[in-house]
Each structure stands twice: as C-alpha cells, then as structure tokens.
Amino acid sequence: MTYLEHFEQIVKDQLARVEAMKEAQAAPDLTSKEKIIIGTIDGDGIGPIIMDSCRQILEKLLADEIGSGRIELRRIEGLTIENRIAKMETVPAEVLAEIKKCDLLLKGPTTTPGKGDGMPNLESANVTLRRELDLFANVRPVVIPEQGIDWIFYRENTEGEYALGSRGVEINDDISIDFKVTTTIGTQRLARAAFEYAKNNGNKNVSIVTKANIMKKTDGKFLSLCMDVAKDYPEIKVDDWYVDIMAANLINPLFNKGFNVVILPNLYGDIITDEAAQMQGGVGTAGSANIGDRYAMFEAIHGSAPRMVADGIAEYANPSSLCRAACMMLRHAGMADRAEALEKALDAAAAGLDMPGDGTGNTAMDFTAFVLEQL
Ligand code: IPM
Ligand code: MG
C-alpha cells in the first residue's frame, strides 16, 4: 500500500466510525434491568492479584443480589498478554464476544507491548476495548479533602492521538508520522456528559484543557465545540486552559482548589490524570470509569506493574485503585449505598494500612482481610 492509499484508508475508516456513532444505541436503564451481568477481567502482571481481592470484596458486598440472581459476577478469561500474542489479536474475538454479553465490566490492567521490548506490535487492549465498546467518556475523580481539592476529569476516550495510534507510518529511516483525530459527535457527547455532571452536582465549574494554539485543527475544534455546548449551561462558570499551564496550575495551591470538572482530549487527559492521581497518593489510589451508551467498563488507572512482578513483590500490589473503580461501577448501576459502604472501608484501609508498593508493609491479602472486616 502506498502512503496515499494508507491515508485514504484511514480517512474512510474514520468517516465510517462517525456514521456508526450516529447509530449508537440508547443507554439501557440498569436499575430496572432484571439481571445485571458484571464481567471481571483479570488482566496481566499484578492484575489477577488485585482482581482476586476486589472479587472477594464484591462477593461480600453484593451477597444478597448475587444470591437472588439479580447480579452475576462473571469471570472473563483470556485477556492475557500470552493469549493475545498467541492469537495475534489485541482482544481475541472469542474474548470480545464474551465481554459483549456483559452489561458492566471490571477490568484489571493489561500489558501493552511497547517499542523495543521484544513483543509483537499489538495495540493496547484498553484502547481496543474503549473503541470496540465505544466507551467515549473516561471519568476520573481525584479528591484530596485536606487540600480542598475535589476534581473530576472527563477525558475523551476514543479519539485524539489514540484513534490511529497503531496506524502511524514510518515513511523511511528519517521520518515517522502519527495521526490525531477529532470528530464533532465524539467531542459533543463527551462535553455533554461533563456539563450534565457539573449541572447535576450543584453547577460545578468546568475547565476545558487543550493545546489549541498549536493543534489548531483538532484541539481547536475540540475547544470550540465544548464552548458551544457550554452555551446550553449558562449557570455554569467555564474557562479554558492550555495543557502545559494546566499541569502547572494543578500543583499550585493558589489555583488548584478552583477547578472542579475538567474536560480534556484523550492524550492530555491520560497525562494530567496521572499527575492528579499522584497528588492524591499515587496512581494506585484512583479509579477510572469508561462510559459509553451501551457498555461501561471500570478499571484501575495504573498499568500491570511488570517491574513489581519481575522483582518478586507482586503480592504487595495495592488493590485500592481497582476497588475505587468498583465503587464507581456500583454508583453507575444505581447502588450508591453499596458504593458508599465500600468507599468508607477503602478510606479506612488507606489510613490503617501501609502499602508503599516497594515490597514492604502490607500485602494485597492483608488489604482484602482488612476491607472484608470493615464491611
Ligand atoms: C490509562 C492508561 C492507558 C492509556 C494505556 C494502558 C494504554 O495509561 O488508562 O490511562 O494510555 O489510556
Ligand atoms: Mg494513563
């Protein structure tokens, strides 16, 4: 294929994606659904360890619903880096078919092959799942009460640099080109979700983050579409920031309390949410929700921690982030009381356990026992 044909194909695929977005199914009302299937996906590295903890906790928390058949916790096998490499599929077709039978998904971290680590060039399973299930909003709260910080990030989750992240071109030894995509529907639906959240939670401030002075077409479009959506919410205070100064302002106590809801394109959202999570106590402490119209997937914001596994200290992995994601899942399913109970237990665990992640202190098993005791 020539470069021009490659580019033509990319454009055609993106136009087709826009058409598919127009056909998106309406969200099912989980509260009135007779049975909710929650698929749990272990993932790689520390994934099975933290998922084991989280499943035990959910089994206790949801014992009544599981007993009555209202909720099924279903283990989804096969989303491991070994199986993915064996099949040479980012998400093997039969695994994806099982995933699509669920309503909600709780997902452990999955390894993404990077350049130079000797693994074949597979796309990130996260990126594939977000795209296949059309999970357009990545919602990541960060709360630090003692600093007056109450943030929730709405990261665009299917577009930007990620839409074609594995379809860039190495032209020759001298030049490589990647692509970035912004669509009208993709941006509007994300902005709408963020503004609705802000409105339903006491008209919180909304900040839009881009680099529209440099990425004029994609970020420029993103910013102006978000500003258009803002017009439907005249009671909400809106501002916009470039991502570099936003990274600085988040750690500036003079500014950071003033931010509430933050809307970002995909890659900036990836970076800024790690920064924010670190301020809260580390990426192991934050949960993340991937919300679409038909499906929703909840996950830890950290990766599979291959270094912890290589160093033989995987059992010291902290399940908090995945459990925080489970709280978001419970709220999403209309079980706010259970979410609150679990949040309280997780707060107690954060205060009562010592989990620095360096092979000292408490293990994931200690964590499980502690949280089960609290519930
Ligand atoms: C995240 C992760 C993923 C991302 C990786 C694992 C592909 O960093 O969920 O933030 O970049 O989105
Ligand atoms: Mg990230």
Q: Is the CB of 270 under 6 A from ligand 1?
A: yes
CB-based neighbours (< 5 A) of ligand 2, an ion: 270
Q: Which two tokens stand for residue 28?
A: 């099912």
275 shares its domain with 330: no
Going from the Cα of 302 to the center of ligand 2, the distance in angstroms, rounded, reads 7
8 domain-assigned:
no
pLDDT by residue, tens only, the chain of 375 residues = 899 999 999 999 999 999 998 887 776 788 888 999 999 999 999 999 999 999 999 999 999 999 999 999 999 999 999 999 999 999 999 999 999 999 999 999 999 888 788 888 888 899 899 999 999 999 999 999 999 999 999 999 999 999 998 899 999 999 999 999 999 999 999 999 999 999 999 999 999 999 999 999 999 999 999 999 999 999 999 999 999 999 999 999 999 999 999 999 999 999 999 999 999 988 878 889 999 988 999 998 888 999 999 999 999 999 999 999 999 999 999 999 999 999 999 999 999 999 998 999 999 999 999 999 999
Say if 38 falls within a structural domain.
yes
233 shares a domain with 121: no
Same domain? For 146 and 194 the reply is yes
Give the range of the structural domain holding residue 178, as residue numbers without chain letter: 139-283
The CB of 161 under 6 Å from ligand 1? The reply is no
Domain assignment present for residue 331? The answer is yes
Confidence at residue 287, expressed as pLDDT on a 0 to 100 scale: 85
Mutate to test the pocket of ligand 1, among 111, 126, 140, 155 (most ligand atoms within 8 A of CB): 126
If asked whether residues 302 and 172 sit together in one domain, one would say no
Q: With respect to residue 39, please indicate whether it lies within any of the assigned structural domains.
A: yes
In the prediction, which pLDDT does 33 show? 87
> 286: Cβ below 6 Å to ligand 1?
no
Residue 303 near ligand 1, beta carbon < 6 Å: yes
CATH code assigned at 279? 3.40.718.10
Is the distance from the beta carbon of residue 357 to the nearest atom of ligand 1 less than 6 Å? no
Ligand 2 center–CA 41 separation, angstroms: 18
Q: Is the CB of 156 under 6 A from ligand 1?
A: no
Domain boundary among 283, 310, 327: 283
Please give the pLDDT value at position 47: 97
* φ/ψ (deg, to 5) at 300: -70, 155
Which tokens in the block code for residue 109?
């971290």
Global pTM reads: 0.91
The residue whose CA is least distant from atom 4 of ligand 1 is 270
